[in-house]
Amino acid sequence: MSEAANARLQVDLQALAGNYATLSGATGASVAGVVKADAYGTGAEAVVPALAAAGCDVFFAGFLNGARQVRLLAPAATVFVLNPVIRTDATELLANGLIPCLYDPAEAVAFAETCEAAGQRPRIALHVDTGMHRLGMSATELAALRQHRLWPGFDIALLMSHLACADEPGHPLNERQLREFESLRRDFPGVPASLANSGGVFLGSRYHFDLVRPGIALYGHDPHYDGGRDRVTPVAELTVRIGQVAWISAGDSIGYGATVTVERETCVATLLAGYADGIPRALGDAALEPPPECWCAGRRVPVRGRISMDLTTLDVTACVPPPAPFSDRAEVFGRHIRLEEHARRLNTIPYELLTQVGNRVARAYRQ
């Protein structure tokens, strides 16, 4: 079914394993795999076992459901839940041996009470805020929690924090968060510590501590990528089958809103996937000059006309011979057109484009 699929996300598991090895080689710390949002859209079902086979034995899922899936796919692994909600998740976390990254002191107490009632010791990660101000306990909240009667029973598997600006090596907040984390860590001798995401790994060993938590770099995007040498290998390629190829005349327009009028005879290829499949509608914005490009019949071709829910139109006039409907495919991103290129044009990040690839898109895996 995947070969015949109109839209296909091809995921190279060998490149994924290679990226895991590259990150392992860049640090003396343990390397976890962050697999939230279905492994950044690439499909946890194949990606988790591939990472486990590459030596990864610690995973971070976003929410309970993703963590349960990881538990089934990698039964021996340590599985953390980044954004748990203890009031609804506590029993399931315990039953599946999942470790919540607790960011709220009241939730930490609630989890300890559930564990106490179940006759278990609460195994937890503590997420502390060192300056991102998105998620995590403040130093004051942490100090108060340490006074709680249940505190001595906590089995702290990890002390963690998250960097706000790890993708900007020169940003002063990195150093400030590092110092704050080092200071908080002094109260937790012997507890494993973790600060770095992908960007943090490439900030250098001072940021690594005991465990690093890369996500996007595993999937092939280096957050410090500047168009130069690649430290990681792209993993995902989105290709779409062409449904129609047609010549239109000078003065004709393409697509909804007739936003594009062609000045000469033009060959239009229509791809059988659209914004419902995760091809950003913004790629067809007529105000983008020059228009964003896809790869078709061995060359770059511009997106022309608005992207619709199921369909995308390309100007393939330059393709000689023109692509063949049904048998030819166009690459939206992948080896020829990098995810980073679209992200830059659309003022977003590769993370968003990758995780938005829709669930109609078949995932196919290269071993």
Residue 10 lies near ligand PLP (rule: CB under 6 A): no
Residue 198 lies near ligand PLP (rule: CB under 6 A): yes
Cβ closest to ligand PLP, residue 47 vs residue 273? 47
Q: Which one of the listed residues 36, 103, 275, 351 is annotated catalytic?
A: 36
Q: Cα dist. 188→103, 133, 360 in Å? A: 16, 21, 47
Cβ proximity of 46 and 365 under 8 Å: yes
Q: Which one of the listed residues 103, 207, 256, 365 is annotated catalytic?
A: 256
Give rounded-to-5 percent helix, strand, coil for the chain: 30, 25, 45
Q: Cα dist. 151→112, 155, 185 in Å? A: 8, 9, 16
State in angstroms the smallest separation of the CB of 34 from ligand PLP.
4
Residue 214 lies near ligand PLP (rule: CB under 6 A): yes
Q: Does residue 103 carry a catalytic annotation?
A: no
Cβ closest to ligand PLP, residue 129 vs residue 310? 129
State in angstroms the smallest separation of the CB of 60 from ligand PLP.
6
Ramachandran bin of 324, using left for φ above 0, alpha for ψ from -120 to 50, beta for the remaining angles: beta
Cβ closest to ligand PLP, residue 164 vs residue 362? 164
Contact region with ligand PLP (CB under 6 A), list: 49-57, 90-98, 104-112, 196-204: 196-204
State in angstroms the smallest separation of the CB of 63 from ligand PLP.
11
Cβ proximity of 128 and 161 under 8 Å: yes
Binding track over 28-67 against ligand PLP, x by CB under 6 A: ------x-x-------------------------------
Number of residues that bind ligand PLP (CB under 6 A): 12
Binding track over 241-260 against ligand PLP, x by CB under 6 A: --------------------
Among 216, 245, 307, 316, binds ligand PLP (CB under 6 A): 216
Spatial separation of the C-alpha atoms in residues 49 and 51, rounded to whole Å: 5
Burial of 302 (0-12, 13-18, 19+ CB in 10 A): middle
Which residues 69-108 are close enough to bind ligand PLP by CB under 6 A? Answer: 82
Residue 303 DSSP label: B
In whole angstroms, what separates CA 201 from the centre of its chain? 16
Cβ closest to ligand PLP, residue 108 vs residue 330? 108
Contact region with ligand PLP (CB under 6 A), list: 140-148, 193-201, 236-244, 299-307: 193-201
Contact region with ligand PLP (CB under 6 A), list: 210-218, 256-264, 299-307, 329-337: 210-218
Residue 337 lies near ligand PLP (rule: CB under 6 A): no
Which is nearest to 213 in space by CA: 75, 328, 59?
59
Which is nearest to 272 in space by CA: 226, 302, 308?
308
Which residues 133-192 are close enough to bind ligand PLP by CB under 6 A? Answer: 162
- One-letter identity of residue 122: P
Among 105, 215, 284, 322, binds ligand PLP (CB under 6 A): 215
Spatial separation of the C-alpha atoms in residues 285 and 167, rounded to whole Å: 28
Q: Which long-range contacts (CB under 8 A, 24 or more apart) does 182-185 make?
A: 184/128, 184/130, 184/139, 184/142, 184/159, 185/159, 185/209
Residue 24 lies near ligand PLP (rule: CB under 6 A): no
Cβ closest to ligand PLP, residue 82 vs residue 90? 82
Cβ closest to ligand PLP, residue 104 vs residue 310? 104
Spatial separation of the C-alpha atoms in residues 31 and 73, rounded to whole Å: 18
Q: Does residue 36 carry a catalytic annotation?
A: yes
Catalytic residues: 36, 256
Q: Which residues bind ligand PLP (CB under 6 A)?
A: 34, 36, 82, 162, 197-199, 213-217
